[in-house]
Structure 1
Amino acid sequence: MEGYLDIIIRCVSVYFFMLIALRIFGKQELSQLNTADVILILLISNSVQNAMVGTDSSLVGGLIAAFILFLINYIIKKWLMKSTFFGSLIEQKPEILIRNGRSDFKMLSKLGINSDELSEAMREHGVEHIKDVKLAMMEIDGNISIVTTDQNQFKETHYKRKHNHKNLQGEN
Structure 2
Amino acid sequence: MDMLRELFSFQMNPWELVLRGSAIYWFLFVLFRFVLRRDVGSIGIADILLLVLIADASQNAMAGPYETVAEGMLLVGTIAGWNLLLDWASYRSKRLRAIVDPPPVVLVRRGRLILSTLRSQLITVPELMSKLREHGIEKLDEVKIARMESDGEVSVIRFPDKPEPAEAAPDQGQNARR
TM-score by length of 1: 0.81
Point out 4+ residue stretches in structure 1 off by more than 3 angstroms.
none
TM-superposed CA distance for 1:99, in Å, is: 1.3
Gaps of at least 5 residues in structure 2 are 1-9, 163-178
1:53 aligns with 2:53: no
Sequence identity percentage: 26
Partner letter of residue 51 of structure 2? I
| Structure 2 match to 1:110 | 120
| Structure 1 match to 2:21 | 11
Contact residue 23 and residue 90 of structure 1 kept, 8 A: yes
Partner letter of residue 72 of structure 1? W
Contact residue 27 and residue 140 of structure 1 kept, 8 A: no
Q: Deviations over 1:112-137 (max 9, x none)?
A: 11221222222221112211101100
Q: Secondary structure at the match of 1:92?
A: coil
Q: Deviations over 1:65-101 (max 9, x none)?
A: 0011111110000011011111122221100111111
How do 1:104-143 and structure 2 match up within 5 A? 104-143=114-153
- Structure with the higher fraction of residues in strand conformation: 1
In structure 2, relative to structure 1, the CA distance for the partners of 1:36 and 1:92 (3 Å cut) is same
Write the distance in 1 (CA, Å) between the matches of 2:104 and 2:129. 19
TM-superposed CA distance for 1:57, in Å, is: 1.9
Write the distance in 2 (CA, Å) between the matches of 1:131 and 1:114. 18
| Structure 2 match to 1:149 | 159
TM-superposed CA distance for 1:26, in Å, is: 4.1
- Name the larger-Rg structure: 2
Aligned length: 152
TM-superposed CA distance for 1:60, in Å, is: 1.0
Contact residue 98 and residue 136 of structure 1 kept, 8 A: yes
TM-score by length of 2: 0.78
Q: Secondary structure at the match of 2:57?
A: helix
More divergent stretch after superposition (117-126 vs 11-20): 117-126
1:89 aligns with 2:99: yes
